[in-house]
Chains A and B, each alone.
Chain A
Amino acid sequence: GENVGLHLPTLSVQEGDNSIINCAYSNSASDYFIWYKQESGKGPQFIIDIRSNMDKRQGQRVTVLLNKTVKHLSLQIAATQPGDSAVYFCAENRDDYKLSFGAGTTVTVRA
């Protein structure tokens, strides 16, 4: 079965609102997590990463939160823009930088 997954397959957000995308993982040995954004016809694009010795990391308009107790990862996007419409994947690293991807959440931004 999957070790990495997202709670919801789709998310519709009003432009300007904040988005929260969730991900659950099951392997407590995972020590590195990445969020990727995939636009139609393109490869996964790195957004932000976090290591297991941290519980929060901020980037430009994005924040990743890691809760190791419940094995939960989230991506927060502030002031969502139309260009944020894409599929978002969380990925988990267990060894040798091989990543295991979750199923993805499709984010649609409403104007």
Chain B
Amino acid sequence: EPEVTQTPSHQVTQMGQEVILRCVPISNHLYFYWYRQILGQKVEFLVSFYNNEISEKSEIFDDQFSVERPDGSNFTLKIRSTKLEDSAMYFCASSGGVSPLHFGNGTRLTVT
């Protein structure tokens, strides 16, 4: 069964550094998402992406965040200057539009 893959599985970075989280969505999917989950809390929506542009974003997704689909297979989340409170699991998800979201296993981001 096709799946969403995310790399790296764990990223440790210093406060103020830039990080790029990478995702390969399911190949025939058209809608792409990033969610995050702070330890022990619920999964929170960050951003949705369709037709090469952001379709919706949450208040969490401020100017420090950006997303890109640089080629036909990758979908990336960049955090320009990380803060301690950015430490969380970041999940990429994709959907064919009428299908449910399929999630990757996440990248654990630790900001020190």
Write the residues of chain A forming the contact surface with B, with a CB cutoff of 8 angstroms. 34, 36, 41-46, 49, 89, 91, 95-104
Is the CB–CB distance between B43 and A96 below 8 Å?
Answer: no
- How many cross-chain pairs have Cβ atoms below 8 Å apart between A and B? 48
Per-position 1/0 for B93-110, Cβ under 8 A of A: 101010011111110000
Q: A101 to B103, Cβ gap below 8 A?
A: no
B45 touches A43 (CB 8 A): no
Chain B positions within 8 Å of A, measured between CB atoms, are: 4, 31, 33, 41-45, 48, 50, 55-56, 91, 93, 95, 97, 100-106
Could you tell me the distance in whole angstroms from the C-beta of A54 to the nearest C-beta in chain B?
15
B42 near A43: Cβ-Cβ < 8 Å: no
The secondary-structure label for the interface of chain A is: strand
Measured in the bound complex, the distance between the Cα atoms of B4 and A44 in whole Å is 11
- On chain B, the residues within 8 Å of A36 by CB distance are 103
